[in-house]
């Protein structure tokens, strides 16, 4: 599939809308909780990709998988951490808290590549890190002073998502520098399988109703498997800063959906802190895009 620039932008907007479904859908679960929620979503993501990959890349996709590459396995572990931590965090704290914490991904990626790959950070990125840090500090401090239940644990788990994502993208850059190219979609499949295997014993005995399993199957297919595959196609057309900038729409869509579809109104302190974080990210990504035009 070959896309023009405008088509790729429109598809990325659709992808972020699909990614943002998780928060509002989990608020409508009847009996499934914590690790069982994670297990079913990861299981259906893996099942969907087992069907999608051969249809998309041909039956030879299995023989082309880099089973012996440490980067492939490390990438899969990163995806599994993201899948597991994200869903468990959503069961512990507000959707807005999780999404704003996850928004730190681009800045954490910049820091980790600076430490491990020696990439120089421009002043705009350092400024964005400081501003985002102030926003996160304001949000977390206000929530802790209010005594929000499970807030600290939920946000700590949510923080694992951008950290694992930053490690994931650093691995991609390092493998590319060594002449290798990670195929991210098979890595997503590996991550979903590992997440399912890890959470299976913690999810038992199963309590999910048929209604819950149906909703989590919906997430596995439409919130992860399909948009992850489509994002790889968009990444071939759009520049990295454009992808990062458009991906921020997930925060806006996710908070709006949880507010509209589950009546989960974010606290004013979360909106203010989140606005600072988003401003920092928008400034950084816009200047990066402008300098590369």
Tell me: the pLDDT tens digits for 39-53?
Answer: 999 999 999 999 998
Is 184 in contact with 78 (CB distance < 8 Å)? no
Average pLDDT, the chain: 84
DSSP 120: P
Angle at the Cα of 38 (from 36 to 43), degrees rounded to 5? Answer: 95
| Higher pLDDT, residue 74 or 247 | 74
Q: How far is CA 242 from CA 24, 113, 130, 225, 245, in A?
A: 26, 19, 22, 22, 5
Tokens of 175: 């493998």
Which of 42-56, 73-87, 159-173 is predicted least confidently? 159-173
Could you tell me which of 138, 107, 86, 123 has the C-alpha nearest to residue 254? Answer: 86
Distance separating alpha carbons of residues 135 and 273, to the nearest angstrom: 4
Look at residue 266 in the predicted model and tell me its pLDDT.
Answer: 80
Return the top range by mean pLDDT from 9-23, 94-108, 244-258: 9-23
Distance separating alpha carbons of residues 225 and 244, to the nearest angstrom: 19
Look at residue 113 in the predicted model and tell me its pLDDT.
Answer: 78
Distance separating alpha carbons of residues 161 and 89, to the nearest angstrom: 10
Is residue 205 over pLDDT 60?
Answer: yes
Distance separating alpha carbons of residues 171 and 155, to the nearest angstrom: 25
- Which residue's entry shows tokens 């990125």? 125
Where are the chain's structural domains? Answer: 5-292
pLDDT above 70: percentage of residues in the chain: 92
Is 276 in contact with 128 (CB distance < 8 Å)? no
pLDDT band, residue 147 (cuts 50/70/90): low
Q: Is 65 exposed, middle or buried (0-12, 13-18, 19+ CB in 10 A)?
A: middle
* Count of CA atoms in the C-beta half-sphere (13 A) of 60: 1
Distance separating alpha carbons of residues 268 and 173, to the nearest angstrom: 38
**What's the gap between Cα 126 and its chain centre?**
23
Q: How far is CA 260 from CA 21, 25, 187, 216, in A?
A: 12, 12, 34, 20
Angle at the Cα of 110 (from 108 to 115), degrees rounded to 5? Answer: 95
- Sequence-distant (≥ 6) Cβ neighbours of residue 236 within 8 angstroms: none
Could you tell me which of 26, 103, 40, 88 has the C-alpha nearest to residue 257? Answer: 26
Is residue 13 over pLDDT 90?
Answer: no
pLDDT band, residue 71 (cuts 50/70/90): confident
Model confidence, pTM: 0.84
Q: How far is CA 64 from CA 56, 69, 146, 151, 171, in A?
A: 14, 12, 52, 43, 19
């Amino acid at each position: 599939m070959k896309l023009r620039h405008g088509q790729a932008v429109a598809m990325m907007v659709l992808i972020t809308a699909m990614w943002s479904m998780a928060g509002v859908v989990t608020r409508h679960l009847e009996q499934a909780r914590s690790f069982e929620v994670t297990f079913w979503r990861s299981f259906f993501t893996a099942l969907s990709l087992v069907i999608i990959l051969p249809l998309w890349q041909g039956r030879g996709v299995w023989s082309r998988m880099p089973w012996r590459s440490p980067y492939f396995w490390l990438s899969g572990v990163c995806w599994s951490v993201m899948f597991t931590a994200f869903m468990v965090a959503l069961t512990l704290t507000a959707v807005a808290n999780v999404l704003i914490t996850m928004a730190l991904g681009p800045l954490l990626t910049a820091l980790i590549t600076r430490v491990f790959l020696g990439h120089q950070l421009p002043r705009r990125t350092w400024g964005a890190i400081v501003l985002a840090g102030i926003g996160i500090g304001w949000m977390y401090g206000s929530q802790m002073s209010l005594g929000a239940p499970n807030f600290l644990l939920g946000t700590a788990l949510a923080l694992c998502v951008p950290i694992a994502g930053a490690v994931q993208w650093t691995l991609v850059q390092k493998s590319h520098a060594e002449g290798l190219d990670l195929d991210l979609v098979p890595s997503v499949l590996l991550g979903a399988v590992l997440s399912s295997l890890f959470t299976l014993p913690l999810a038992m005995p199963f309590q999910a109703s048929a209604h819950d399993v149906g909703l989590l199957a919906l997430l596995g297919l439409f919130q992860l498997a399909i948009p992850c595959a489509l994002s790889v196609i968009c990444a071939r057309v759009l520049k990295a800063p454009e992808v990062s900038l458009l991906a921020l729409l997930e925060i806006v869509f996710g908070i709006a959906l949880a507010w509209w579809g589950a009546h989960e109104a974010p606290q004013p302190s979360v909106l203010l802190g989140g606005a600072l974080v988003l401003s920092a990210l928008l400034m950084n990504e816009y200047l990066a895009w402008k300098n590369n035009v």
